[in-house]
Amino acid sequence: MQNSVDGFLNYMTVERGVSPNTLSAYRSDLNQLVQYLQTNHLNGNGSDWQDVDEDMMSQYLLHLHALEYSDTTRARKVASSRSLFGFLLDEGKVSRDPTENISSPRIGRSLPDTLSVDEVGDLLAYAALQDSPDGLRNRAMFELMYACGLRASELVSLDLGDIDLEQGSVRAFGKGGKDRVIPAHADAIAVMRRYINEARPSFVKRESERSLFLNRRGKRLSRQGFWLILKASAARAGITKAIKPHMLRHSFATHLLQGGAPLRHVQELLGHSSITTTQVYTHLTSEHVRTEYDKSHPRA
């Protein structure tokens, strides 16, 4: 069974070009499924996907519910299972899809978590006070993410050659291997120039290192490392909200729309393939309009 999972993961990488984070989620979900099936329903390593039936998959969904996973997580795990069985059907390794009649948990689309303009200002102001190499690196990351609306994975994947300081632009590689060139405002470019010239050399352990943002060991900073830095900096800046890795990206999109930017332009900047994905931010701007109305209208 594990060989089939490995074949599916290879297919998703080579043929579908899924991101490393998506691939990691598939691997985790499907390894959990294999372990459950072999422990509770099948005969260990000699079992086969053809032996899996609808009742087993229904029991698996109940098992996930008993583990108190959120609706969103359970829905993702069901979707991973469906994708695997779709692949196995196409490969002729199963004759039916046991997930076909399995209902996924219903989930409402949650609105992205954002920072207000003032909160972003507080975060950047705090970062600007930190003049150490770590502080300059952190400020450069925050400024660039908010200036360009980068995903956390895009930010930490940047190499030196992806930043054009003269043109004031960033080349980001998004989901599915798609790349886009995003303009960055002059203040962000100035901070990046200072980081590259003054702070980054203190992190470099090998002259051949091309990663833009480095940790103290001279390695590329991880997504998790960035998130921990963002959380700690936000707390020290007096921000009490729960901080998520993509918060500055969501704030970028929301603040652009609140400022009157066309939805299509924001879609291109974010690298969304569908404008439907971008439209979720219009709900946040509608809430902003309502708040301002309630604050400003004399009869509200």
Catalytic residue among 175, 220, 236, 244: 175
Map residue 180 onto helix, strand or coil: strand
Split at pLDDT 50, 70, 90, the class of 215 is very high
Give yes or no: 249 in active site.
Answer: yes
pLDDT of residue 68: 84
Helix (H) or strand (E) holding 289: helix 275-296
CA 88 vs. chain centroid, Å, equals 28
Query: Residues 263-290: what's their mean pLDDT?
Result: 79
Query: What tokens were used for 259?
Result: 């400022």
* Residue 98 · residue 60 · CB < 8 Å: no
The fold for domain 117-245 equals hpI Integrase; Chain A (1.10.443)
Distance CA 234, CA 119 (A): 9
For the stretch 119-152, pLDDT in tens is 999 999 999 999 899 999 999 999 999 999 999 9
Please state, in angstroms and as integers, the Cα–Cα distance from residue 120 to each residue in 115, 231, 245, following that order.
Answer: 6, 13, 14
Nearest-CA neighbor of 82 among 65, 104, 62?
Answer: 104
Percent of the chain's residues with pLDDT above 90: 59
* Residue 55 · residue 23 · CB < 8 Å: no
Give yes or no: 223 in active site.
Answer: no
- Position 46 pLDDT exceeds 70: no
Could you give the dihedral angle defined by the CA atoms of residues 201, 173, 72 and 39, in that order, rounded to the nearest 10 degrees?
A: -80
- Position 298 pLDDT exceeds 70: no
CA 35 vs. chain centroid, Å, equals 27
Distance CA 220, CA 143 (A): 18
Give yes or no: 297 in active site.
Answer: no
Catalytic residue among 137, 249, 250, 255: 249
For the stretch 57-89, pLDDT in tens is 888 888 888 888 888 888 899 999 999 999 999
Can you give the residue ranges of every domain in the chain?
A: 2-90, 117-245
List of residues 6+ apart from 118 with CB closer than 8 A: none
Percent of the chain's residues with pLDDT above 70: 91
Is domain 2-90 classified as CATH 1.10.150.130? yes
- Position 29 pLDDT exceeds 50: yes
Q: What are phi and psi of 173, to 5 degrees?
A: -110, 115
pLDDT of residue 113: 86
Q: Count the neighbouring beta carbons within 10 Å of the beta carbon of residue 250.
A: 20
pLDDT of residue 102: 79
pLDDT of residue 162: 97
Query: Residues 152-164: what's their mean pLDDT?
Result: 95
**Of the ranges 34-48, 59-73, 147-161, 273-287, which one carries the lowest mean pLDDT score?**
273-287
Distance CA 41, CA 61 (A): 14
Give yes or no: 272 in active site.
Answer: yes
Q: What are phi and psi of 100, to 5 degrees?
A: -55, -40
pLDDT of residue 155: 96
Give yes or no: 77 in active site.
Answer: no
* Residue 238 · residue 124 · CB < 8 Å: no
Query: Residues 9-23: what's their mean pLDDT?
Result: 87
Catalytic residue among 77, 151, 250, 255: 151
The mean pLDDT value of the chain amounts to 88
* Residue 4 · residue 88 · CB < 8 Å: yes
- Position 286 pLDDT exceeds 70: no
pLDDT of residue 297: 46
